[in-house]
Amino acid sequence: MTRVYNFSAGPAMLPEAVLEQARDEMLDWQGTGMSVMEMSHRGKAFMSIAEQAEADLRELMGIPDSYRVLFLQGGASTQFAMVPLNLTAGGATVDYINTGAWSKKAIAEAKRFCNVNIAGSSEAQNFTTVPAQDSLQLSTDAAYVHYTPNETIGGVEFPYVPDTGEVPLVADMSSTILSRPVEVERFGVIYAGAQKNIGPAGLTLVIVRDDLIGKARGGTPTMLDYKVHADNGSMYNTPPTYAWYLAGLVFQWLKRNGGLAAMAEVNRRKAEKLYAAIDGSDFYSNPVDPACRSWMNVPFVLANPGLDASFLQEAEARGLTTLKGHRSVGGMRASIYNAMPEAGVDALIEFMADFERRHG
């Protein structure tokens, strides 16, 4: 069997060591005689897995005791509704910063429940940059400010954390969580789908400050109330147990590899060398403002789009897969999350140079 370098934006690569451990524990987890996916979520064995995973995540991210960590279902898309349902009353105003496809989806959902003020937008620049902090038009009475630190599709990333004063800051960190250290205290809510840097699809992490829990508006469905999940240890219903277990293995892998500071150095290096290869060529280009380029998702286009199909076919033959760009952007996109080894980025750069020599 030959493993490929999978540049998918999600579901994405998982660390090979994690997959090997899961394989070894598949039929018998630590002498229990059963697989984790067969365990009762309320049994002693799984409870120990869940508690360890949360403890490791808290250590990795430096999550204060004043925040709750929820392991939920529904993806980040469900959080587009859960955030306004839990943080606002009817008629409230909320601020959103629009920097791309996922921001727009969050905005559209929030408009079902709140008065949405677009505090900043880079749509006029075709989402190739982000609004500067001093250009944000924040409301005086906003219940919260929402932004997407990294837009997976456009490959645009905030180089700063917005300063919102006393107003809770909400972040969809699906593409950047665990890729570098973050000051959790600067946020009211952090949420992230798992299928990029955390684990397999089916799990969603929510980190929410205590004072923002218990304020869901009347009529909020039980499963969309943060307090219900917080009070029940994320086990009001049967959680995605196997995805939770695999996320815990990823957290342990991160700790063994030096934590988020060490991961940040590797991720910075991977991104810098790939952007350098693109910028050093007349054959490839990246449209994003260099100050706002994502570490995690690197889109690029070929000077001759007629070569796109050949590029993808030849890359696949080299074991470099899932490089086709999103349909709304075109070209290519290399997602280089934590589990993408530096050797994978090196292999992509080598192939790009070879393809340019032969087709440029």
Tell me how far apart the alpha carbons of residues 46 and 36 are, in angstroms, rounded to a whole number. Answer: 7
Please state which of the ranges 181-185, 237-241, 278-282, 325-329 shows the lowest mean pLDDT. Answer: 325-329
pLDDT of residue 330: 83
Tell me how far apart the alpha carbons of residues 181 and 202 are, in angstroms, rounded to a whole number. Answer: 24
Q: Predicted confidence band at 329 (pLDDT cuts at 50, 70, 90)? A: confident
Average pLDDT score, the chain: 97
* pLDDT over 70, % of the chain: 100
Tell me how far apart the alpha carbons of residues 222 and 227 are, in angstroms, rounded to a whole number. Answer: 9
pLDDT of residue 252: 98
Residue 209 clears pLDDT 70, i.e. is over it: yes
Residue 230 clears pLDDT 90, i.e. is over it: yes
pLDDT of residue 127: 96
Residue 282 clears pLDDT 90, i.e. is over it: yes
pLDDT digits 0-9 by tens, 51-63: 999 999 999 999 9
**Average pLDDT rounded to a whole number, residues 16-32:** 97
Q: Where are the domains of the chain?
A: 16-256, 259-359
* 244: enclosing H helix or E strand: helix 241-256
- Which residues are tagged catalytic? 102, 172, 196
Q: Predicted confidence band at 178 (pLDDT cuts at 50, 70, 90)? A: very high
pLDDT of residue 1: 63
pLDDT of residue 326: 86
* pLDDT over 90, % of the chain: 97
Tell me how far apart the alpha carbons of residues 244 and 71 are, in angstroms, rounded to a whole number. Answer: 7
**Average pLDDT rounded to a whole number, residues 104-125:** 97
Give CATH for domain 259-359.
3.90.1150.10
The single-letter code of the amino acid at 224 is: L
Q: At what angle do helices 44-61 and 241-256 cross, to 10 degrees?
A: 40
Q: Which CATH number fits domain 16-256: 3.40.640.10, 3.40.50.10540, 3.40.50.20, 3.10.150.10?
A: 3.40.640.10
